[in-house]
Each structure stands twice: as structure tokens, then as C-alpha cells.
Amino acid sequence: MRNAFSHRLRPSDVARVASVGLRNRRMRAALSALGISIGVAAMVAVLGLSASSQAGLLAEIDRLGTNLLTVSKGTTVTGETAELPKQAPGMISRIDAVTAVESTGATGAKVYRNPFIPAVNSNGLTVKATSLNLPASVSTSLERGQFLNKATESRPVAVLGATAARRLGIDRIFTGQRILVSGQWFYVVGILKPAALAPEVDDSVLIGYPAAEKYLRYNGNPSTIYVRSDTEKVNDVHAMLAATANPEGPSQVTVSRPSAALVARAAAKSALNGLFLGLGAVALLVGGIGVANTMVISVLERRSEIGLRRALGATKQHVRTQFLAEAVLLSSLGGVVGVLLGALATAIYATVKDWEIVVPTLAWAGGLGAAIAIGAVAGLLPAIRAARMAPTEALRTV
């Protein structure tokens, strides 16, 4: 037995010895680990919620489709707005990979609920001529009523975007409901749901191209063209669109991919994340101070235990390891509880929001790592103090 003497405790013995103080004073251990738990929970929840909401947004974008491209008016070299040629939609639809082409044309007309509203009270709404399959190509549908059709596109009939309907105070469709566009009454036949991929449609009052030409003397040029194509060939189509839409001035055409902008926005971290992460860090710090405090008291109270252990043959290193391990164990327990709480909060919120539950590795591993690191730092000084105590000093009973 003597020959087999080893000065190192087995890991299982270190764990057992480290847990002695915690097992004996459960309440105190729980309370001092609480701060760490709260800090870690806050951090894990913030990162988890942000990742889950991002996953939710990306799923939503996927659902809307990433194969929509928009072609809109650009500017000429001299800085004027360059009109899109009337035949642009037709040209674009001849591209192989293109599956649908729709367009709108801004008429510049103003719209009012009734004639008594002063003209200066412009409501920021635009009146646009539209082709007849617009809703499907911008991934929206009708909230109420119906869209324009062959019969109504040449008549004074309008469909409202979601925002336009709200601003005009119209939430239902009934016979005879009308709005005033450039002194001409238009009958409202439908209201659209919000179009996440084309928010400009939300602000619009949509009428047919023939009606726009007839009642508003609109020239019939499209101002925005919505192009759907095979998802795998979106980039190829993207490259060809400008030249196809306006062969004479490809540089005067703006082509964009709305889903890309949405993805970028989804990826952007909310400024609130930083704030909550900061609060979590503060809670962790306070938790660390709590652990340090507990360890200092523990060392003072357990003087005779330290003396006894030295008499039983513990080296300074053994004593130091014991108290350091106790601090690390305490804060990692806090960390584990914190990770579970944070993950639970994420899971509940994501489930309510119908998002995928995502707890990034960085969040839980980072939270746990931070807890362990804080425990080590908090326990270091008390552990060194315990190890420095002379055996006789520790054994002395006052």
C-alpha cells in the first residue's frame, strides 16, 4: 500500500471531496449558484431566441420564395428617371428560365376617401396600374373581395394594398364602396394581404392598365416588373434582366432580389441582443461575486476540516484543489441550470411563435464555459488562502 502511494487524488475523489461542502450546505449552495444561473439563462435565452427568430424568418422567406427578381426604373446619366420600355415585360417573359412576369406602373395620381379631404392631406399612397396576376408573383393573396380581371381592368375599379386599406380606413368590401382617384370615383373590389417580398405593393391602390390610361391618362409604361424564374437559374436570369428590359440602356435599369434583402435583415442582430447580453454578463459577474463570497465563508468555517485534512496527509495542493474544485462545481451547477432555463425559455417562445427551436452551440457551450471560468476565478483566492493555512493554525481551537 505504501509503495502504491500516489500524491494525486483520483478524479472521482476530487469530485467527492469538492462536493462535500455543497452537499452539506445545500441551501447556501443553491442560493449562491442562483446568480450564475440567472446570468447564464439570460445569455442562452437571448442567443437562443435570436437564433430561433432568425430560423423562423428564413423559413418564412423560403416559403415566400427566393426566386423573385424585380426590375425597376433607374436613372439616366443626366440624373433623370429612366422609363422602362412598354415592351419590357414581353421581352423578359421570353427568357427561358422565367416562369412569370407581372408589372405595375406608378401613375402619380393621388387617392382620397372622399372629396372633402383637403388635397394637402396626402396619405403617402400611390396609385398603380397593375397586370392581372400580381398577387401570386409577389406571394400574397386577397384578404377580402377579389382581384382585377379582364372585365374590371378597364373599368374604374380598384384593389387596395394592405397598408393602403388601413390608411383609407377600409376594412370591408361592400357594393358601392368607392374612393376618389384624381377626381374620378373608383369602386373598391378587393383588399390584399401584406406582401413581404414587395412592401411597395402594400402602399398601393391598384387599378388596371386600361383603366389607368383611360381615366388617368397614364402612358402605360411599367415602373416595376416582377419576375419569377426557376430557382436554380435565378442568378443567370438576374444577369440578363437589365439588358433584356432595356436593350438601349441596360445601365438605366435597377434589378434586385427582394428575398436577399430580407435574408440580410434576418441575419442582422438586434441591438436589443447586445443589451440583454450585457445584462446577462452583469448577472454572471454578480453571481461570480456570490460564489467567491460563499467560498471565503466556507474556508473560514471549515478551518478545522482543513487542519484535519492536512493531518490526514493532504498537501497544500490537495487543499487548494478541493476548494477550487468546489467553486467550479458550484458555478457549473449554476451554469447547467442556467442553460436549461435559457433553453426552456427559448423552446417555449419559439413554439408559441411557431419557429424552429434553435439553441446555438455558442450559447450553451459559451454559457457553461463562462460559468466554469467564473467559478475558477472566484474560487482561486479562497482556495489559495485555505492552502496557505498552517496545519497547526487550522487545528487550533480558540
| Residue closer to another protein, measured from CB, 177 or 315 | 315
The alpha-carbon radius of gyration of the chain (Å, integer) is: 34
Question: From the CB of 374, what's the least distance to another protein, in Å?
Answer: 27
Count CB-CB contacts under 10 A for residue 228: 21
Give the type of residue at 257. Answer: R
In the complex, what is the shortest distance from the CB of residue 310 to another protein, in angstroms, rounded to a whole number? 7
The rounded distance, in Å, linking the Cα atoms of 153 and 226 is 19
Question: In 3D, which of 392, 353, 291 has the Cα closest to residue 49?
Answer: 353
Minimum CB separation of residue 302 from another protein in Å reads: 10
Instruction: Name residues whose C-beta falls within 8 Å of residue 113's C-beta, 6 or more positions apart in sequence.
Output: 168, 169, 170, 179, 180
Q: Is 57 left (phi over 0), alpha (psi -120 to 50) or beta?
A: alpha
Residues linked to residue 127 through DSSP beta bridges, in sequence order: 205
**Position 33: which residue type?**
A
Closer of 41 and 306 to another protein (Cβ): 306
Please say whether the beta carbons of 350 and 264 come within 8 A. Answer: no
Residue (7 or 94) nearer to another protein, CB: 7
Complex with another protein: residue 224 or 298, whichever CB lies closer: 298
Q: Which residues bind another protein (CB under 8 A)?
A: 1-2, 4-7, 9-10, 12-13, 17, 20, 23-24, 304-305, 307-318, 390-392, 395, 397
Q: Give the nearest distance from C-beta 382 to another protein in angstroms.
A: 20
Residue 257 or 309 with smaller CB distance to another protein? 309
Taking the least distance from each CB to another protein, the nearer of 16 and 172 is 16
Q: Position 160: which residue type?
A: L
Least distance in angstroms from the C-beta of 36 to another protein? 24
Shortest distance (Å) from residue 307 CB to another protein: 8
